[in-house]
Amino acid sequence: MKKEKAIILFSGGLDSATTLFLAKRRNFLIKALIFDYGQKHKKEIKAAVKIAEIAKVDYRVVAVKIPWSKSSLTNKAKKVPESFSGKIPSTYVSGRNIIFLSYAASFAESIGAKAIFIGAHTQDYSGYPDCRKNFLEKFNQAINLGIVGKRIKLHYPLIDKNKKEIIQVGLKLGVPFKYTWSCYNGERYPCQKCDSCRFRINGFNQLGLKDPLLKS
């Protein structure tokens, strides 16, 4: 039987890598979209490429510039925050998932894919509005009115999971976590201070494990 195509928004982080392996397990023919959106460091793009190659799935790197982004992820002059303020943090990139999902919808329509996967979740994270389930549901409805032909289903299988649970899923699926990159800073080793590091390290610790990226 011919496999159904699925597009994955793939950052090379722990969440999207787990999502990619989940979609693969569900027998989709994967097309991973890796976005170069002007991140300060390219380490996550390299991680994404490496994992796509390990998983033996098609991928493409798409340049998506967001010229007005004031995020600390895209501005060299801004430091990534080291503590969680309870508010939307400076790492937030205005409309990032809205733009990425729009590209995915365009690509899906173009190649006849009926599924788009995104690793968004809200349990742990920093309150990014474009990771919320109600946004994803409504956006799915909107794109189905704005495209030609087949309806697309947006899958967000991790939406209600926390980092510990995502790591558990990933371990079962054989996700090569040692090649994923989550740290907002692109140094040799994870900074262990940014939100993304802290949630990740904490998730491994809750399972009695050590994040495989940390120095031994």
**β partners of residue 59:** 32
Tell me how far, at minimum, the Cβ of 72 lies from a copy of itself, in Å. 14
Instruction: Give the C-alpha distances (Å, rounded to integers) separating 148 from 1, 61, 177.
Output: 25, 24, 38
Site for a copy of itself in 30-89 (CB under 8 A): 60, 62-70, 88
By the rule CB under 8 A, 90 interacts with a copy of itself? no
Choose among 71, 70, 59: nearest CA to 33.
59
CB of 146 to a copy of itself, least distance (A): 4
Site for a copy of itself in 145-204 (CB under 8 A): 145-148
Q: Which is nearer to a copy of itself, 68 or 187 (CB)?
A: 68
Task: State which H helix or E strand residue 147 sits in.
Answer: none
132 binds a copy of itself (CB under 8 A): yes
CA distance 110 to 106: 6
| Residues facing residue 60 across a β-bridge | 33
| Secondary structure of 63-129 as H, E, C letters | ECCCCCCCCCCCCCCCCCCCCCCCCCCCCCCCCHHHHHHHHHHHHHHHHCCCEEECCCCCCCCCCCH
CB of 126 to a copy of itself, least distance (A): 11
Residue 77 C-beta: closest distance to a copy of itself, Å = 17
**Complex with a copy of itself: residue 1 or 63, whichever CB lies closer:** 63
Count of alpha carbons within 13 angstroms of residue 209, beta-carbon side: 16
Indicate which single residue of 141, 189, 210, 214 sits in contact with a copy of itself (rule: CB under 8 A): 141
CB nearer to a copy of itself: pick between 129 and 212: 129
Question: Could you tell me how many residues of this chain bind a copy of itself (CB under 8 A)?
Answer: 41
Three-state secondary structure call for residue 75:
coil
Q: Is the separation of the CB atoms in 34 and 48 below 8 Å?
A: yes
Binding residue for a copy of itself, selected from 111, 150, 189, 207, defined by CB under 8 A = 111
Contact residues for a copy of itself, defined by CB under 8 A: 60, 62-70, 88, 92, 94-99, 101-103, 105-107, 109-111, 129-130, 132, 134-135, 138-139, 141-143, 145-148
